Amino acid sequence: MQKELATQRARRRFVIPILAAVLLILTVLCMMAGSSHMTPAECINALLGKGTAAQVRIIRNIRIPRVIAAIVAGAGLAASGLIMQTCLNNPMASPSTLGVSNAAVFGANLSIIAFAGGFLETGNNLSSYMVGTNPYATSGMAFLFSAVSVLLILGLCRIRSFSPGVVVLAGIAIGSIWTAATTVLQFYATDVGLSAAVIWSFGDLGRATYKTDIIMAAVVLTGIAVFGILSWRFNALLSGDATAKSMGVNVELLRFVSMLAASVITAVCVSYLGIIGFVGIICPHTAKRILGQDHRISLPVSVLLGSILLLLADTLSRSIGNGSALPVGAITSLLGAPFFMALIFARKGGAADA
């Protein structure tokens, strides 16, 4: 045990600086990836406003917002996953545990099929859809239903005592309801409406703008700051509810506030970017495996790993897309699933890390 602790302390000295350096390198590489095939020199000139008008527009209006969205959303989803795993005492917990993603998909589908695009009136007329759609209506509706879902689940859990098992079961049940409602809605959609709704569900950083980045950054940074302040309480919670209460921690209130904050972060990211899976599972597991359970260390490491993973996925999606960016949500799943299986089977005895 002492040897393991000494190894973890030694790792802490260089892991965070190395991850920060990797994040910086990937940020630069992600800025240069794309179908325009600009050279590094052209990217730098465009960033400084010295390139052609098209190059400056690509860098400043497309790639920079996209890179910022990857860094912010990756950090938020990873931090949310870490906190949910701790609060629910469940290594498989993730930002989708409370059905937040399911609710967001339903809200987006409702907006696209029934309201924002006016599909119930315009049918398969794509030009009418392009005129009638509101770029912020879909994200707003997705966030609204995510918030309603979170408040409903947490409200039910408060009534029935706020235990981890109740939260997970309530999340599964509510998530199934949203999924069923989405299926019914898509059944009655027209071809154009269904296509647009399905495409929205793909995780896509290409939707990011400076405005959405600012909103996501404000929510994510606030949430991470709150989690950082509560780090010692999360460490106490790892020893069990009884131990945490003996140390003066209000366990029920801590779970409520933490789950609410983590869910809001997830809801904001999903409402703007679509479904991006595995970031909230892989990154916390990796952080805890490398540096242990201490949230003072695992939180910043998870945040860095989340940003790195999403930047890597976005770079790959634009590099192998043959002129168009593949959905980043598909890339994270392709990267995350094998990596997660490797983590599980690399564990002594075959058990998953807590």
Residue 217 domain boundaries: 14-350
**pLDDT at 45 > cutoff 60:** yes
**Reported confidence tier of residue 88, pLDDT bands at 50, 70, 90:** confident
**pLDDT at 353 > cutoff 60:** no
pLDDT of residue 6: 63
* Contacts for 225 with CB less than 8 Å, ≥ 6 apart: none
In a domain, 3, yes or no: no
In a domain, 8, yes or no: no
**pLDDT at 28 > cutoff 80:** yes
Average of per-residue pLDDT across 309-314: 91
User: How many domains does the chain divide into?
Assistant: 1
81: closest CA among 241, 258, 314, 216? 258
3-state secondary structure of 35: coil
Q: Name the CA dihedral angle for 179, 184, 187, 189, rounded to a multiple of 10 degrees.
A: -90
* Contacts for 17 with CB less than 8 Å, ≥ 6 apart: none
pLDDT of residue 54: 83
**Angle between the 279-291 and 328-346 helix axes, to the nearest 10 degrees?**
40
Per-residue tokens: 156: 């039910």
Per-residue tokens: 232: 């010692």
pLDDT of residue 224: 96
**Reported confidence tier of residue 213, pLDDT bands at 50, 70, 90:** very high
Say how far residue 269 (Cα) sits from the centre of its chain. 6
Q: Is the dihedral of CA 112, 115, 119, 122 positive or negative?
A: negative
- Angstrom distance (rounded) from CA 24 to CA 29: 9
Helices (H), 292-327: 295-319
**Mean pLDDT of the chain, nearest integer:** 82
In a domain, 289, yes or no: yes
What confidence tens digit (pLDDT) does each residue in 90-147 have?
Answer: 877 787 777 888 898 898 888 888 875 444 444 444 444 444 455 577 888 888 898 8
The structure's pTM equals: 0.85
Per-residue tokens: 153: 């689940």
The mean-pLDDT minimum among 156-160, 230-234, 251-255 falls in 156-160
- Angstrom distance (rounded) from CA 58 to CA 91: 41
Quickly list DSSP for 209-243: -HHHHHHHHHHHHHHHHHHHHTHHHHHHHTT-HHH
In a domain, 327, yes or no: yes
The mean-pLDDT minimum among 139-148, 157-166, 327-336 falls in 157-166
Radius of gyration of the chain (CA): 21
Average of per-residue pLDDT across 340-353: 58
State the maximum Cα–Cα separation within the chain, in Å, rounded to a whole number: 69
In a domain, 6, yes or no: no
Average of per-residue pLDDT across 267-293: 87
| Strands (E) located in 77-218 | none
Half-sphere exposure of 291 (CA within 13 A, CB side): 22
**Reported confidence tier of residue 349, pLDDT bands at 50, 70, 90:** very low
In a domain, 1, yes or no: no
The CATH number of the domain holding residue 22 is 1.10.3470.10
